[in-house]
Chain A
Amino acid sequence: MEEMRIVFAGFGGQGLLFAGKVVAYAGLIEDREVSWLPSYGPEMRGGTANCSVTLSDEPIGSPLIMDPNNLIAMNQPSLLKFENEVTPGGRIFVDTSLVNRLPERTDVEVYALEATNMAEEAELKGLANIVLVGKMLKETSFCAPETIEAAIRKAVPARKAALIEKNLKALKLGMEA
């Protein structure tokens, strides 16, 4: 299967680390090699909290992704920072509710959707992250649909189990977008 090297980037609080965890769990469930690495340095204070997630069939070298083939960008600084790192032929998923400039690259696939507005209209405030994961799943089929559902059930902590259904709805919203 295609190696997925995904950078999730945006503001702290947008659930990027969680979205990355959902994708990582999907890889774990399908018995692939998986790594998840958050940024923990001062850049966290500069508007680009991010994490790197790799799903592969080979042992993973560096978990720090310098050449993503997928980018989920949830704010302007993140798009600016990571746009040029995406490998040619890669994909950029942009939340255009929060980014008013589309990627300038022409050698990558750009998927623009108003994920934050879509989530809010569906009463799923704060779940734009999972809407974008749903969109990425639709465009890449990086795992089976039932796997991502199981991954959400694993990634949502037990004390927040009430949020599982909302996450599943957000996922569906993204997959149908």
Chain B
Amino acid sequence: MAEKVLMKGNEAIAESAIRAGCRFFFGYPITPQTELAAYMAKRMPKENGTYLQAESEIAAINMVYGAASAGARVMTSSSSPGISLKSEGVSYIAGSDLPCLIINIERGGPGLGSIQPSQSDYWQATRALGHGDFQMVVYAPSTVQEMADLTYGAFDVADKYRTPVMILGDGMLGQMMEPVALPEPRTSLPEKPWATTGHKNERTKNITNSLYLDAELLEKSNRERYERYDVIKATEQRSEQVDCDDADIVVVAFGASSRIARSAVRAAREQGIKAGLFRPITLWPFPVDALKQTVGKAKAYLSVEMNMGQMVDDVRLVVEGNAPVEFYGRVGGVIPTPAEVLEKIRQINEGLGE
């Protein structure tokens, strides 16, 4: 394995993207993703790549649209308010069936909110970031190593299904340093026969388009996209489970809050409470199949999030009323403590005897 180095989550994403063959980065500065763009500005020219700070987020995402059309591995990164500005472009990219990577290092909201960590863009990321019927694969890393690994793989998933892919991190994961072993640089990339690279009178022309004035054609295009989504749902769900097999209480948490939940679950076990951690790694597709295996066994669920309660909806859709699903969250940039989560687990555990 490669030697481990200390890197910030933001930097690990950037380096891993370059190693995955990404040679185009378009962005606009915002805290707390700053180091990601700064790293790209330093590294991209050395790899004969393009780093461009656009005049706005809207310009940046449309540059991504262009580079993706031409078949390049391309990405942009931002934080919550900047992602909202990019949403129109993301809808166009999805409507044109183009692959790209979008990083959201979330901060508190709504509005300008704060610059402190948050997970309050879960709905935005998983329910379609923009107008129209579309979804995109969303990964939620919980360590710097996972930020590197998921970024590396995200480009392959984007290319395979011709879809935008998002890495949903937050200010804590972006800013923190942990040891990370970086993946080996890609030596070859997939062919993209659909790319708009100039037909040179040698093939039929390729067109990037999301406009269908014929209703039936647009319906057909939507249906075809959703057939691909079915394949993604069947094959791309990812999750991790810790001590869920005999758990009375399954704590569900992703990203930064899963780290806190993990500590709380460990402390609960030490007190003799049968708690387990279920950690979605893909937020879309939500790891329905794996979570379903706990339904009927677990007596209660607790969703822990840094928002007012968003993923808890997805947990309830899986649990389908078979057990109570509770929620604990902190917002505005406040990070929940393991002690707070443990207290909530204890309360639920006491209620189980009744």
Contact = CB atoms under 8 A, between A and B. Distances in A.
Contact of A36 (B177, B256, B264): B177
A62 B330 CA distance: 14
B176 A37 contact: yes
A21 B337 contact: no
Interface in A45-87: 58-64, 66
Contacts of A35: 176-178
A62 B338 contact: yes
B6 A59 contact: no
B142 to A, nearest CB: 10
Contacts of B263: 61-62
Interface in B236-293: 256, 259-260, 262-264, 266
Given A25-B6, A34-B6, A34-B179, A41 B262 contact: no
Given A35-B176, A40-B175, A59 B31 contact: no
Interface in A25-42: 25, 28, 34-38, 40-42
Contacts of A16: none
Interface in A131-163: none
B52 interface: no
A19 to B, nearest CB: 13
Contacts of A24: 6, 177
Interface in B148-182: 171-172, 175-179
B101 to A, nearest CB: 24
Given A24-B177, A28-B179, A35-B178, A40 B6 contact: no
Contacts of A60: 259
B228 interface: no
A61 to B, nearest CB: 3
Given A59-B262, A62-B263, A37 B337 contact: no
Contacts of B256: 62
Interface residues of B, number: 25
A62 B255 CA distance: 11
Interface in B103-145: 114-116
A35 B9 CA distance: 11
A37 B337 CA distance: 16
A11 to B, nearest CB: 20
B338 A63 contact: no
Nearest to A32: B179
B32 interface: yes
A28 B31 contact: no
Contacts of B333: 41
Given A24-B177, A41-B115, A62 B260 contact: yes
Given A28-B4, A62-B337, A66-B337, A37 B175 contact: yes
B6 A61 contact: no
B6 A21 contact: yes
Contacts of A42: 115
Nearest to A28: B179
B335 interface: yes
Contacts of B260: 61-62
Contacts of B264: 61
A48 B136 CA distance: 41
A34 B175 CA distance: 14
A78 B256 CA distance: 26
A28 B144 CA distance: 14
Highest count of chain B CB atoms <10 Å: which of A21, A28, A42 = A28
Nearest to A62: B260
Nearest to A38: B175
A40 B179 contact: no
A130 B116 CA distance: 29
B175 A61 contact: no
B337 A28 contact: no
Contact of B338 (A28, A40, A41, A61): A61
A41 B176 contact: no
A24 B178 CA distance: 8
Contacts of B262: 59, 61
A24 B171 CA distance: 20
Contacts of A21: 6, 177
Given A24-B6, A25-B6, A35-B177, 19 more contacts: A28-B4, A28-B6, A28-B179, A34-B179, A35-B176, A35-B178, A36-B178, A37-B172, A37-B176, A38-B175, A40-B32, A41-B116, A41-B333, A60-B259, A61-B259, A62-B256, A63-B172, A63-B176, A64-B335
Interface of B: 4, 6, 31-32, 114-116, 171-172, 175-179, 256, 259-260, 262-264, 266, 333, 335, 337-338
Q: What 3 A-B pairs come out closest when comparing CB atoms? A: A61-B263, A36-B177, A37-B176
22 contacts: A21-B177, A24-B6, A25-B6, A28-B179, A34-B179, A35-B176, A35-B177, A36-B6, A36-B176, A36-B177, A40-B175, A41-B114, A41-B116, A41-B333, A58-B266, A60-B259, A61-B259, A61-B264, A62-B259, A63-B176, A63-B178, A66-B337
